[in-house]
Chain A
Amino acid sequence: MTREYLFAGFGGQGLLFSGKVLAYKGLLEDKNVSWLPSYGPEMRGGTANCSVIISDEPVGAPIIANPDVLVAMNLPSLDKYESTVKSGGTIFVDNSLIERKVMRDDVSVYYIPATRLAGEIGAPTLANMILVGKLLSVFDEYDEEYVGKALAKCVSARHKDLLELNKKAMETGRAY
């Protein structure tokens, strides 16, 4: 099986990081993975996205034209990528930042007020991880052991203190 994910939003929301956690989890589970960031002149405040492919087979092109899964953390991203999602795909929307609904009816949609929830659990910068937690639980792939290991690989030594908070954010998403 191959699943293609597109994480899109503002720079600074941690989309590249959440894609990396997902990819690392895939790697630890012995899957083939690729992670490709957009690397424009955009930094914090601009648009940012990353494409993640997790597959049982070797990954060909790391570029995704039609994702199976879209995680949208701002309106421009939803506007831009909603139509590209495969029919039967899944869209995760941070509806504390995006007011409109998804217009398509051939995809599954999950609305999660991730940014609001992140504020409530004292982790205002971790809305991205709430969305990943939700995503993994929707696909029934929330394996605590691998989630923990993947986080440990992705959270740098300098920020070790944030490991637990990341887990808490992912748990919050899972439970939502």
Chain B
Amino acid sequence: MAEKVLMKGNEAIAEAAILAGCRHYFGYPITPQTEIAAYMAKRMPKIGGTFLQAESEIAAINMVYGVSSAGKRVMTSSSSPGISLKGEGISYLAGADLPALVVNCQRGGPGLGGIQPSQSDYFQATRGGGHGDYHMIVLAPDSVQEMAQLTIKGFELADEYRMTSMILADGTIGQMMEPVSFDFEIKEAPEKPWATTGTGMKRPHNIINSLYLKPEKLEETNIARYEKYAVVEEKEALAEEYMMDGAEIVLAAFGIAARVTKNAVKAARAEGIKAGLIRPVTLWPFPKAYFEKALGTAKEMISIELSMGQMIEDVRLATQCRIPVSLTKRVGGMIPSVEEVLCAIRKAAERIGD
């Protein structure tokens, strides 16, 4: 096994992207994700890649559109306010069916908000974020190791489905250091016969476009895209189950909230409370099947979030509101403590004990 190194989550994303064959990075600095850009600035020139600090987030995402059109693996990264700026470009990527990786190392909002960790861009990420009917594949790492692993997976899924993958991280996972191994098997990027790489006078022109003025044609592209999304939902939804054996109180949490929740679930089990955690790794597609399965033993669910309650809607949809789902949250850059989560579990245990 490759040697483990101690690295920040943001740096792990950058290194993994390079390993995945990404040679084009465009970004604009914003806390708490700037280490990604800094790492790329250092490494890309040495390996024949391109690092470019664009004049704005909007410029950066449009550069991503250009490189992706030419068939190369490409990424950009930002944090919440910057991702809003990229929204238009992300919608264009979706409309043109272009693969790309976008990293959102979330901070508190709305507006400029703050620079501390948050998960309040969940709706933006899982519902598309920009205008029009579309989805991104949204991956939610909860460790530095997963920052690397899901970056690689993000590129692979993006290419496979011609979609944008988003790493939805947060300030804590981005800033923290943990041991990480880069011992990955990496699939080569597939052939991209649709890319605008020059016809060599041997084939018709490829056209990358998101403009369809004929409504019949635009309807057709939308419907075809949603058929593809149905396949992604069928095949790619992923979650981690933690202490779910016979779980009566099922917690849902992703990213840094899941790390806190794991401690709380472990403590609750030690007190004899049958608690368990479902940690969505893909936020879109949402891993509904794990929640349906949990209904076998679950009597209550609690969504633990760094938002005013966003993922909780997907938990309710996945369980069709068949059991109560409550919310435990902190926002604005605050993180729920293990004690707060444990308290919520104990209260749920009292309720179901009646």
Residues of A that sit less than 8 Å from B by CB = 20, 23-24, 27, 32-37, 39-41, 59-63, 65, 153
Contacts and interface: CB of A to CB of B under 8 A. Distances in A.
Interface in B232-273: 256, 259-260, 262-263, 266
A37 B175 contact: yes
Contacts of B256: 61
Interface string B262-286: 1100100000000000000000000
Contacts of B260: 60-61, 63
Given A39-B31, A62-B259, A27 B175 contact: no
Interface string B38-63: 00000000000000000000000000
A122 B234 CA distance: 64
B148 to A, nearest CB: 15
Contacts of A65: 337-339
A27 B6 contact: yes
Contacts, number: 58
Contacts of A36: 172, 175-177
B6 A20 contact: yes
A35 B260 CA distance: 15
B175 A33 contact: no
B339 A23 contact: no
A34 B136 CA distance: 30
B32 interface: yes
A35 B6 contact: yes
B113 interface: no
Interface in B63-120: 115
A33 B259 CA distance: 14
A20 B177 contact: yes
Given A35-B6, A65-B338, A40 B115 contact: yes
Given A27-B179, A35-B6, A36-B177, 7 more contacts: A20-B6, A34-B178, A37-B176, A60-B260, A60-B262, A61-B338, A62-B178
B4 interface: yes
Interface of A is mostly: mixed
Nearest to A19: B177
B147 to A, nearest CB: 13
A37 B117 CA distance: 12
Given A27-B6, A39-B32, A34 B176 contact: yes
A39 B116 CA distance: 8
19 contacts: A20-B6, A20-B177, A23-B177, A33-B6, A33-B179, A34-B177, A34-B178, A35-B6, A36-B175, A37-B176, A39-B175, A60-B260, A61-B256, A61-B260, A62-B172, A62-B176, A65-B339, A153-B5, A153-B6
Nearest to B257: A61
Contacts of B339: 65
B172 A63 contact: yes
B335 interface: yes
Given A34-B176, A60-B262, A61-B263, A39 B6 contact: no
Given A36-B176, A61-B338, A27 B4 contact: yes
Interface string B167-183: 00001100111110000
